[in-house]
Amino acid sequence: MILKSKSLAYEEIKIDDEAERMAFYEKCGPSVRQMPQIFINDQRVGGLAGLQAALAQLG
């Protein structure tokens, strides 16, 4: 919703398969065990709080 409200382009990737989800968590690091995870330019910013912080830095 936040990205859409700011007219920012994004790609949503849904992971329904448990094995794919576990592989994704492994890639993100040991502290990541929830969705959504947001990436900006292939860098993980985290969930909603991370997105809000990244948008605040961008102005």
pLDDT at 33: 85
pLDDT at 55: 93
DSSP-assigned letters across all residues of 1-59: -HHHHTT---------SHHHHHHHHHHH-TT--SS--EEETTEEEESHHHHHHHHHHH-
Mean pLDDT by 10 residues, the chain (59 residues): 92 93 89 89 92 91
What are the φ/ψ torsions at residue 28 (nearest 5 degrees)?
-80, -25
Report pTM. Answer: 0.77
Domain range summary for the chain, segments of one domain joined by +: 18-58
The b/e string for 9-37 (b: 16+ C-beta within 10 A; e otherwise) is eeeeeeeeeeeeeeeebeeeeeeeeeeeb
pLDDT at 30: 86
pLDDT at 29: 86
